[in-house]
Structure formats: structure tokens, C-alpha cells
Amino acid sequence: MKPIFLVLPLVALVACATPREACIRDAQRQVTLLNQQIATTQGNIDRGYALAEVQDIRTITTTCTGTNEDGSTFTFPCQETRTITRQEPVAINVAEERAKLADLIERRDAAAEATNARIQQCIAMHPE
């Protein structure tokens, strides 16, 4: 189960953005994604390995409660299935990661120029 209470304030903040702010955020989306990929790739190079998310399904014995017909409660052992996500090291080719990093930086620099032009359009379309 995902914590919905964390998502709702974010949705409320996005809904409160002015048209200008929304336009600028949309214009910056590609550069933001490329920056995240650059950070991940740089981390892989620094560590010498990548981290992959692995999900394990485990059955855990726990204590459950029930209610009798007369309204009294009782406890009994029961099993619960849980999915646990963990990170596992994965071997990488550091030379390929460096080439990937150089490509991502080049793409980000090109995207940044286009983003600046789109931001200027946003400012012109939505003056405050």
C-alpha cells in the first residue's frame, strides 16, 4: 500500500501553480530527467557497479485477531504475504557507463538551450 497522504499535498501544490509556473515546469521536464539520469550514471561510475531494484515476496507468520459470535476477541497465528523491495549490486562496464555519461551530458546541454527558449516563451505568454 502506498502512502496516499504524501501524494495529496503534492497534487495540491501542482494545482496551485500559476499558468506561467506550470509552463516553465513543463519546459524544464526534459532537462530534469536528464539530470537524474546523469546523477545515476555518475553514481554507477563512482561505485563501479549499478544498483537494481529487486522485489522479494515473503510469507511472514504473525498474530491475527478475530471476533467470536458472542463479541469476544481472540488471537491466532496466521501468515501474511509481503513484498519487500531492496537494491542489489549489478556489474557494469565502466567504459560504457562513461560513454553513456558523455552522451547524457551532451543531450542535456542541447536540451538546456531549447529549454531556455521555451522558458522565454512561457514568460512572454504568461506575464505576471
**Worst-scoring range by mean pLDDT, 7-11, 28-32, 47-51?**
7-11
pLDDT tens for 70-124 read 989 999 999 999 999 999 999 999 999 999 999 999 999 999 989 988 888 888 8
- CA-angle at 51, arms to 6 and 1, nearest 5°: 30
Domain positions in the chain are 1-48+92-128, 51-90
pLDDT at 2: 43
Collect all residues with Cβ–Cβ distance below 8 Å to 18 and sequence separation of at least 6.
126, 128
pLDDT at 61: 93
Length of the chain: 128
pLDDT at 3 over 50: no
pLDDT at 8 over 60: no
pLDDT tens for 36-50 read 999 999 999 999 999
pLDDT at 125: 85
Collect all residues with Cβ–Cβ distance below 8 Å to 114 and sequence separation of at least 6.
30
